[in-house]
Amino acid sequence: MKLPASLLDTLRTTFGPQGCFTDEAQRIAYAYDNSRHNAMPDAVVFAQEHMQIQALVQACREHRVPVIARGRGTNTTGATVPVEGGVVVSFERMNRILRIDPDNRLAVVEPGVLNGDLQRALAPHGFFWPPDPTSSPWCSVGGNLACNAAGPRTVKYGSPRENTLGLKAVAGTGEGFRCGTYTSKGATGYDLTRLLIGSEGTLALITEATLKLTPKPSGLRTLRATYHDVGSAAHAVARIMAQPVTPCALEFIDDVALKLAHDHGGEDVPLAGAMLMIEVDGEPDTLPSAVDAVSRAAQGEGLQELRVAQSSGETQSLWSARKALSPAQRTISPNKINEDVVVPVSHLPQLVEGIRQLSKKHDVLIVTFGHAGNGNLHVNLLPRDDAERERAHACLADVFALVISLEGTLSGEHGIGLVKRPFMPLALQESTLNLMRSVKAAFDPYGILNPGKLLP
C-alpha cells in the first residue's frame, strides 16, 4: 500500500530523520525473518521510547495501516513478516537495562535488550533470567516475550510467562497501559501479563518488561547417556522426570541427528540409537546426590553408556553433538523445516516412533532433537529438492495431527506466526478460537497489529 502523506509526516516528526525510512534498501532488510518468508513493508521506524509507540499506533489506527513489531528477526514462523505491508517498528535501539534490583529479585528492561547482554549484566549480581533460547546471543527480550521463547532451562525454571512480573505496553487502540506487578505474588484482576506474552504482537506492543530473576546456582554437572534405540531414550526421559530431582536441561537427540553430527563434528560425537544430554545444577554439597538420583533414573533397558563430565573441557566435549547439529543440517538442506511440537512427557515414546513412521511414509529425512524434559521436540524435516519439499509439507500436516492425537500442541517456544496459522483449528476448538478473536478485538479493534498472524 502507499502510505498517506499525512501519516508519513507524522512518522518523520515522531521518529526523526534517522528513525524513519522508506527507501527500498532499508525496507528490504526488514521484510523477512529467520523463517525465510518475506513481504515488503511500506516504512520502517526505529523506536527509542514509549511515547513514540503511542504516537505511532494512534496515527496508524487513524489511517488503518498495519503495525508490525520486530526484535532481531530470529523467529522461525514468519511472525515478524509484514504480509499486508504497513509500518515495521524495530525495537533494536530501545535496548536499555533500566534497573537491576537484586533485593527484590527483578530487573526492568526495554524490549530491545539482547538476552545474552542481559545475562552478562545480571551475572555480577549472582542472578540470571531463566529463558535461554539457542539464539540468546542475538535475540531480544521483547522477541522472547512475544513468542514465549524459552530454551533448555525451561524444564526446571519455566518459560517467560513464569519469569515475568509485569509489562508496559501500547494496545491497538493507541492507549498505553501497565499490567502485572513488581511483587512475586499478586491477585489483582485479570492476568494480562501472561496474556500478552506469546501473543506475537497481535494485542499490544511491549515497551518495557519487569522480569523475575533467579539466583544463579554455584554448581553444575553434565551427564551424557546413549541408548540402543530412541524408544529406550524416550522411556528414560519419563523416568528422569518422574523422580524428585529436576534437571536444569534434558535434551534428546535421535540416531539420525547423531549420525549427521558425527559426520560433521567428528569422533567426539557418539554413534548410538539415541542420546540424552542432562544437566543438574545446585550447590556443591547437594550436587552429588542429585547426580546420583538422575543417573539411577537414566539407567534401564537399552542404556549403552552413561558418562558424567569431570571438568569443563569434558563438559564441552559431551555437548559437541548438540553444537554440531545446526551446521550439519544446513549442509544437507538449506530449506530445512524446523518445528517445535510438544506432547506430555509420558507420550514421548509414541511421538518419536510416530515421527519415524511418517519419515518412511513420506520418504523425507527427519531429524528429531530438543527439550525432552518438558516434551518439547524440534522436528526438522530436511528436503533436498522440489519433490522432497512437496512431500515434506504433506508430512508436516501428518506430524501435527500425530501431536494433537497424543494430547500435545503445535508449539512450545517458536510460536504460531504465519507458518502454523492454518493448523490452529487442529489444536483448538472453534469456540476457543472465537473467544481469542474477541480478546483480539478488545485490544485491537481495527486489526492493525501484526495482521495475518496467529489466529486463522
Cα gap 266→275, rounded to integer Å: 16
Contact indicator for 406, 342 with CB cutoff of 8 Å: no
What pairs with residue 90 in β-bridges? Answer: 46, 70
For the stretch 332-378, pLDDT in tens is 887 888 889 999 999 998 999 999 999 999 999 999 998 999 999 99
pTM of the model as a whole: 0.94
Euclidean distance between CA atoms 19 and 105, whole angstroms: 34
Residue 137 reports pLDDT greater than 80:
yes
Ramachandran assignment for 308, one of left (phi > 0), alpha (psi -120 to 50 degrees), beta (any other): beta
Digit-coded pLDDT (tens) for 63-100:
999 999 999 999 989 999 999 999 999 999 999 999 99
pLDDT surpassing 80 at residue 324: no
pLDDT confidence band for 52 (50 / 70 / 90)? very high
Q: pLDDT band at 1, cuts 50/70/90? A: low
Give backbone dihedrals phi and psi of 336, rounded to 5 degrees, phi first. Answer: -55, 135
SS (H, E, C) 176-188: EEEEECCCCCCCC
Q: How far apart are CA 455 and CA 448, in angstroms?
A: 14
| Residue showing cell 533397558 | 301
H-type helices in 168-216, by residue range? 192-196
Q: What is the pLDDT of residue 419?
A: 92
Q: What's the pLDDT at 69?
A: 98
Tell me the β-bridge partners of 21.
Answer: 44
Tell whether the model's pLDDT for residue 330 goes beyond 80: no
Q: Measuring CA to CA, how many Å separate 443 from each of 175, 180, 201, 337, 423?
A: 9, 16, 11, 32, 24
Q: Closest Cα to residue 171, out of 82, 73, 50?
A: 50
pLDDT at 59 over 90: yes
Set of cell numbers at residue 173: 487502540
Q: What is the pLDDT of residue 164?
A: 98
- Phi, psi at residue 131, to the nearest 5°? -55, 125
Confidence at residue 382, expressed as pLDDT on a 0 to 100 scale: 92
Instruction: Give CA–CA dist 142/355, Å, rounded.
Output: 33
Number of H helices, E strands in the chain: 16, 18
pLDDT at 409: 96
pLDDT, tens digit, for every residue of 152-185? 999 999 999 999 999 999 999 999 999 999 999 9
Stretch (H or E) spanning 202: none
Which pLDDT belongs to residue 84? 97
Residue carrying C-alpha cell 544446513: 330
